[in-house]
Amino acid sequence: MSLAVELLRNLVSRRATVLYPFKDREKVHVPEGLRGRLTFNRQLCIGCGMCFRVCPSETVEMIEDEKGKRPRFYLDRCTHCQQCEDVCPTKAIGLTQQFENFGFDRKEMTLE
């Protein structure tokens, strides 16, 4: 098939992609078991640092606060590997099914 024929066929056919952001977010199919945006429950955290030790992408940084050591998560580095969730003894870390993970400010991409 020639390039010109392929070009003409694509010009008259319907588009194959959907514009983003989606108009109907309820209609977006989220697959079962999707590892989405990271969540953190500070009240459950005991500051053990296991999440810091297992993270392959250096998403976690341990910081000092009024309760002792706590993790800070940089969501722009997260690869959603789920290792931090699996190793957390108190289940303070979780992954949601929220697939949008963006921000216009660095603070929006930091979780404490």
CATH assignment of the domain containing 41: 3.30.70.3270
Residue 74 lies inside a defined structural domain of this protein: yes
Domain count, the chain: 1
Residue 39 lies inside a defined structural domain of this protein: yes
CA distance 58 to 48: 16
> What pLDDT was estimated at residue 23?
65
Instruction: State mean pLDDT over 19-45.
Output: 80
Whether omega for the bond prior to residue 89 falls within 30 degrees of 0, making it cis, is: no
Range of the domain at 90: 31-111
CA distance 54 to 62: 13
51: which DSSP letter? H
Residue 8 lies inside a defined structural domain of this protein: no
Residue 9 lies inside a defined structural domain of this protein: no
Residue 86 lies inside a defined structural domain of this protein: yes
Torsion of CA 77, 82, 83, 86, to 10 degrees: 150
Asked whether the whole model's pTM tops 0.85, one would answer: no
Residue 62 main-chain phi, psi, to 5 deg: -90, 130
Residue 50 lies inside a defined structural domain of this protein: yes
Residue 110 main-chain phi, psi, to 5 deg: -120, 135
Residue 4 lies inside a defined structural domain of this protein: no
Q: 46-102, pLDDT tens digit by residue?
A: 999 999 999 999 999 999 988 789 999 999 999 999 999 999 999 999 998 887 777
Q: Which helix (H) or strand (E) holds 43?
A: none
CA distance 60 to 70: 10
